[in-house]
């Protein structure tokens, strides 16, 4: 069973994502911010991280993504950035941080599942 970690500060969005994924065969965990997300990534070693870019705390999504990709033991972890910031410059920032995919909010559950399926194939 693939492990998926949702790192998102808005509880409603975490719930929407979790409900979308509950019908699939995933082990789902959640974190409310980048600081906790980074700790959970190290502890859980998920296959996929769905991560908001802008979050409260010391670490935003880009910083966590950079840490994941810089750690040789985590470098294979797929990271999908979830954000309302859809400008090309923002997407390039995500790519430079090491994101495997960049999904702009609002996105549909079908779109999310399509990206997840592709990332975990």
SS3 content of the chain, % helix, strand, coil (to 5): 45, 20, 30
Residue 94's pLDDT band, with cuts at 50, 70 and 90, is confident
Q: Are 28 and 22 in contact (CB under 8 A)?
A: yes
Go through the domains of the chain in sequence order and give each one's CATH number: 2-120 (3.40.50.2300)
CA-to-CA separations, 35 to 8, 13, 18, 69, 109, in angstroms, rounded: 11, 18, 20, 16, 26
Question: pLDDT digits over 2-35, tens only?
Answer: 999 999 999 999 999 999 998 889 999 999 999 9
Question: How far lies 61's CA from each of 24, 80, 107, in Å?
Answer: 25, 10, 18
**pLDDT score, position 55:** 92
Whole-number CA gyration radius for the chain: 13
What percentage of the chain carries pLDDT values higher than 70?
99
Instruction: Determine how β-strand 101-104 pairs with β-strand 2-7.
Output: unpaired
**In this predicted structure, what is the pLDDT of residue 119?**
95
Q: Is the pLDDT of residue 88 over 80?
A: no
């Amino acid at each position: 069973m693939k492990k998926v970690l949702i790192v998102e500060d808005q509880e409603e969005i975490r719930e929407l994502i979790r409900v979308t994924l509950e019908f699939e065969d995933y082990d789902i965990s959640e974190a409310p911010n980048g600081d906790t997300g980074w700790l959970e990534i190290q502890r859980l070693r998920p296959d996929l991280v769905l991560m908001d870019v802008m979050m409260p705390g010391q670490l935003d999504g880009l910083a966590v993504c950079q840490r994941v990709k810089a750690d040789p033991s985590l470098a294979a972890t797929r990271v999908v950035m979830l954000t309302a910031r859809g400008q090309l410059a923002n997407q390039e920032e995500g790519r430079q941080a090491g994101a495997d995919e960049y999904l702009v909010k609002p996105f549909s559950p079908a779109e999310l599942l399509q990206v997840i399926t592709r990332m975990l194939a």
